[in-house]
C-alpha cells in the first residue's frame, strides 16, 4: 500500500540517486517539472476529447469517434492540424505583443502547478505561502488576455479583452475570499498543511473535509463559481462569447498560438480545480477510513476528475450571462456572500455548541443572506409569468 502510494516519489528519488550528489537537487527539480508537464499535458489532451464526448452525450450525439479507437486519437489529429495551420498575424497588429500573449498566458499557469499537493509528499515545492503564490501567479493571466485582445487590433478582440479584464478582476475577489475561511481553519497558507488539517473523520465515517461544514460548503460553491469565471468557463465565457464576439480576444489567433491559448485556458482550469480539491475536498485524503488502501494520488485524481466533469456538465446546460449581470453577480452576490461566509466561519470556531446545533445555526446564518441576495442581485423581479389565452 505504502509502496503504491509513494511510487512516484520513490521513482523520482531513485532516478535522482543515479546522478552525482551535487546534481541531485537539480535533477529532483527537473524530474518534478517533467512529471508535471507530462501528466498535465496529457491530461489536457484527454480532457479535450472527453469533454467533447461528454458534451456530445449530453446533447444526444456521439461526439468525435472517428480518429483511432472510439475517437481517442482526436487530440492528436487536432494537434497536428493546429501545428500545420498557417499562423496569421493581422497586418496592423502589434506583432511583439501578439506573439508574447499566448506565452504570457501559458507560462505562469504551468508555474501554478508547482505548489499543488497531488498526493502524500507529492508537491513540487513546499512553500510557506503556497496559496498566495498560486493567486499571485494566476493574476498574470489577466495581462496576457489583455495583450492578446489589444494587440490584435480587432474590435471584437478589444471588446473581448475588456470583458475579460473586468470579469477577472471582479471574480478574483470572491475567489480569494471564498478560500480565506479555509486558511483560517488550517492556520496556514501552505497547501500541504491545509490538506493535513482536513485529515481524520468525525464519528469515524464523515471525513473532516471543509466541504462538510456549512461555511465550507458555501465557500466551495462560491469558489467553484468564481473559478469557472476565472478560467472563462461557461456560463462565464463572455470574453470568448462566440455568439456575440466571434471568438473574443482569440479572434485573430490561429494555428499554434491559438492552441497555446487553448492549452493555457485548460491548464488554468486544472490548476484552479486542483486548488478547489485541496482547499475543500480534503486534497488527497480518502473519503472513508476503510478506503485508505487506495493511493493518495488516486483520490486526488478522482476528485479532480469529478470536478472537471461538473464544469463540463454546467457547460452543456447553461446559457451565458450578460456582462453587466456578470459583474452584478460578482459584486452584489458573490462578494457579500463570501464576506458573510467569513463571519460564519469565525463563528463556527468560536461557538461552543454540539456539532449538529452548530451546523444548523451556521447553515441558517448562511441561508438567510443567500436567499435575500439571490432575490435582489438582479433587481428583484419575478421569474414566473402568467399568460393569457384568446379564443
Residue closer to another protein by CB (options 290, 387) is 387
Smallest distance, another protein to C-beta of residue 314, A: 7
| Number of Cβ within a 10 Å radius of residue 20 | 7
Residue 117 in grid coordinates: 499537493
Cell of 357: 446545533
Q: Is 219 helix (H, G, I), strand (E, B) or coil?
A: helix
Residues 235-264 that bind another protein (CB under 8 A): 235, 237-238, 241-246
Q: Say whether residue 228 binds another protein (CB under 8 A).
A: no
C-alpha angle with apex 123: 119 to 50, nearest 5 degrees?
60
188 touching another protein, by CB under 8 A: yes
Q: 103 vs 323, which CB is nearer to another protein?
A: 323
Query: 165-184: which residues touch another protein (CB under 8 A)?
Result: 165, 168-169, 172
The residue from 81, 155, 357, 364 that contacts another protein (CB under 8 A) is 155
Looking at 32-40, 52-60, 71-79, 284-292, which segment touches another protein (CB under 8 A)? 52-60
Residue 196 binding another protein, by CB under 8 A: no
Does residue 233 bind another protein (CB under 8 A)?
no
Rounded Cα distance between 63 and 329, Å, is 33
Nearest distance from C-beta of residue 203 to another protein, angstroms: 29
- For residues 263 and 71, what is the distance between their CA atoms, to the nearest angstrom? 20
135 counts as binding another protein under rule CB under 8 A: yes
Say how far apart CA 380 and CA 329 lie, in whole Å.
13
- For residue 202, the cross-strand partners are 206
- Which range binds another protein by CB under 8 A, 20-28, 233-241, 338-346, 357-365? 233-241
DSSP-derived 3-state class of residue 207: strand
Nearer to another protein, 33 or 310 (CB): 310
Q: How far is the CB of 168 from another protein (least distance, A)?
A: 8
Work out whether 156 is an interface residue with another protein (CB under 8 A): yes
Cα–Cα dist 125/287, whole Å: 25
- Contact set for another protein, span 298-317 (CB under 8 A): 313-317
**Grid coordinates representing 363?**
447553515
**Size, binding site for another protein by CB under 8 A:** 80
Pick from 16, 268, 28: nearest CA to 140:
268
Report the residue number, 150 or 270, with the smaller CB distance to another protein: 150
CB-based contacts of 25, cutoff 8 Å, min separation 6: none
Residue 97 binds another protein, judged by CB under 8 A: yes
With beta carbons less than 8 A apart as the criterion, state whether 162 and 322 touch.
no
22 binds another protein (CB under 8 A): no
If the CB atoms of residues 188 and 296 are measured against another protein, the closer one turns out to be 188
CB of residue 234 to another protein, shortest distance in Å: 7
Helix/strand/coil for 146: helix
Tally of CB atoms within 10 A around 79: 14
Amino acid at each position: 500500500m505504502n509502496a503504491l502510494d509513494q511510487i512516484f516519489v520513490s521513482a523520482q528519488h531513485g532516478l535522482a540517486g543515479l546522478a552525482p550528489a551535487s546534481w541531485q537537487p537539480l535533477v529532483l527539480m527537473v524530474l518534478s517539472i517533467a512529471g508535471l508537464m507530462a501528466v498535465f499535458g496529457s491530461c489536457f489532451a484527454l480532457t479535450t476529447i472527453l469533454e467533447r464526448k461528454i458534451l456530445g452525450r449530453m446533447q444526444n450525439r456521439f461526439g468525435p469517434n472517428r480518429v483511432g479507437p472510439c475517437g481517442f486519437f482526436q487530440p492528436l489529429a487536432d494537434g497536428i492540424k493546429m501545428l500545420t495551420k498557417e499562423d496569421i498575424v493581422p497586418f496592423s497588429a502589434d506583432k511583439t505583443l501578439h506573439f508574447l500573449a499566448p506565452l504570457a498566458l501559458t507560462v505562469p499557469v504551468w508555474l501554478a502547478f508547482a505548489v499543488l499537493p497531488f498526493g502524500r509528499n507529492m508537491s513540487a515545492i513546499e512553500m510557506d505561502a503556497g496559496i498566495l503564490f498560486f493567486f499571485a501567479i494566476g493574476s498574470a493571466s489577466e495581462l496576457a488576455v489583455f495583450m492578446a485582445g489589444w494587440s490584435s487590433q480587432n474590435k471584437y478582440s478589444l471588446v473581448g479583452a475588456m470583458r475579460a479584464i473586468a470579469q477577472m478582476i471582479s471574480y478574483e475577489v470572491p475567489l480569494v475570499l471564498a478560500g480565506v475561511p479555509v486558511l483560517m481553519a488550517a492556520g496556514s497558507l501552505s497547501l500541504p498543511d491545509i490538506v493535513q488539517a482536513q485529515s481524520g473523520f468525525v464519528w469515524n465515517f464523515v471525513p473532516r473535509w471543509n466541504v462538510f461544514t456549512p461555511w465550507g460548503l458555501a465557500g466551495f460553491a462560491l469558489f467553484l463559481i468564481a473559478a469557472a469565471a476565472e478560467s472563462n468557463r461557461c456560463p462565464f465565457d463572455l470574453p470568448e462569447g462566440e455568439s456575440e464576439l466571434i471568438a473574443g480576444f482569440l479572434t485573430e489567433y490561429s494555428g499554434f498560438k491559438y492552441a497555446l491559448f487553448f492549452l493555457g485556458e485548460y491548464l488554468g482550469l486544472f490548476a484552479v480545480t486542483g486548488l478547489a480539491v485541496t482547499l475543500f475536498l480534503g486534497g488527497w485524503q480518502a473519503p472513508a477510513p476503510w478506503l485508505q488502501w487506495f493511493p493518495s494520488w488516486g483520490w486526488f485524481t478522482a476528485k479532480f476528475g469529478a470536478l472537471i466533469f461538473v464544469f463540463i456538465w454546467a457547460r452543456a446546460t447553461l446559457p451565458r450571462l450578460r456582462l453587466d449581470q456578470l459583474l452584478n453577480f460578482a459584486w452584489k452576490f458573490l462578494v457579500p456572500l463570501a464576506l458573510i461566509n467569513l463571519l460564519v466561519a469565525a463563528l463556527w470556531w468560536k461557538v461552543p455548541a454540539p456539532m449538529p446545533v452548530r451546523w444548523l445555526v451556521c447553515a441558517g446564518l448562511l441561508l438567510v443572506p443567500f436567499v435575500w441576495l439571490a432575490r435582489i442581485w438582479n433587481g428583484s423581479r419575478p421569474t414566473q409569468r402568467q399568460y393569457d389565452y384568446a379564443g
